[in-house]
Amino acid sequence: MKLTDFDTLTFDCYGTLIDWESGIHTALLPLIAKAANGFGRDAALEAFARHESAQEHETPSMIYSDLLSHVHARLAKEWGVPADAQADATFGASVPDWPAFPDSAQALAYLKRHYKLVILSNVDRTSFAGSNKRLGVEFDAVYTAQDVGSYKPDPRNFEYLLAKLAEQGIRKEQILHTAQSLFHDHKPAKQFGLASAWIDRRHDAAGWGATMPVEGASYDFRFTSLQAMADAHKVELG
């Protein structure tokens, strides 16, 4: 199997193109500062992962910015911080402030010359529009949790993706799903028979960060950055 076997890349955005862990941690710092015991970055991200996943399961049709507000409130309660609706809303609106990885825009510009680029993201359209400005590329299609009414790893998200691409004449065999999260993306992608490329952004870090642990996930390619994937494609082209 080679990268040049495919003509469509379907991307997760957050954790893959946007450095959501840095964005989340920065946006949580005011809450962390109020917590009685204080929390290191890894502990805060792991707590976020637990509450985000639970909230997505409980309220699959909730807009992501609102869902983040609820997650912030859940964390405040767990950490013994008094309720603050304005702080919850501020965190919920923070997605456009989350930074892109330094290599994302350049690598996407290269890949755009060789592939159709499609987003399958667990956010709402307004939040993604803010992030897209940081990525500097026009995606051929954008599908969000807001469009689907559920959050990955729910199979409905991949069913929606494949149905929409089939309407454009794009077959499963043409698609390489490209993502960081083994939990949200690689395990369900494989259940649908999709080839996948793991952008292992946490290759030099322990633990699972802002995603839930998962067993039994597999993938076809592994790269430690999106630029490394673009460089591998260049090598295949000779």
CATH code of the domain covering residue 45: 1.10.150.750
Residues 112 and 9 reside in one and the same domain: yes
Contacts of 22 (CB under 8 A, 6+ apart): 98, 99
Mean pLDDT throughout 68-95?
96
The position carrying tokens 């490394």 is: 228
Q: Are 203 and 179 in contact (CB under 8 A)?
A: no
d(CA 43, CA 45): 5
| Residue 37 predicted with pLDDT over 80 | no
Residues 69 and 142 reside in one and the same domain: no
d(CA 74, CA 238): 52
Residue 196: predicted pLDDT? 97
**CATH code of 145's domain:** 3.40.50.1000
Residues 164 and 231 reside in one and the same domain: yes
Residues 106 and 221 reside in one and the same domain: yes
Residues 155 and 169 reside in one and the same domain: yes
Residues 124 and 7 reside in one and the same domain: yes
- Total number of domains in the chain: 2
Where does the pLDDT of residue 238 fall: very low under 50, low under 70, confident under 90, or very high at 90 and above?
A: confident
Residue 190: predicted pLDDT? 95
Residues 115 and 200 reside in one and the same domain: yes
Largest CA distance in the chain: 59
Residues 117 and 195 reside in one and the same domain: yes
**Active site residue: 12, 19, 88, 185, which one?**
12
**Which whole-number Å values give the CA distances from 115 to 4, 66, 86, 118, 124, in the listed order?**
9, 33, 42, 9, 24
Whether the upstream peptide bond of residue 99 has omega within 30° of 0, thus cis, is no
Tokens of 106: 């350049």
| Residue 159 predicted with pLDDT over 90 | yes
3-class secondary-structure state, position 116: strand
Residues 103 and 186 reside in one and the same domain: yes
Catalytic residue check, 185 = no
| Range(s) of the domain holding residue 57 | 21-97
| Residue 115 predicted with pLDDT over 90 | yes
Residues 36 and 26 reside in one and the same domain: yes
* Among 66, 13, 21, 55, CA closest to 40: 21
- For residue 179, the number of C-alpha atoms closer than 13 Å in the C-beta half-sphere is 32
Residues 156 and 225 reside in one and the same domain: yes
Task: Tell me the pLDDT tens digit for each residue of 10-21.
Answer: 999 999 999 999
Q: Which residue(s) pair with 190 in the sheet? A: none
| Residue 104 predicted with pLDDT over 90 | yes
Question: Of 71, 97, 123, which residue sits at a domain end?
Answer: 97
At residue 34, φ and ψ (nearest 5 deg) are -90, -15
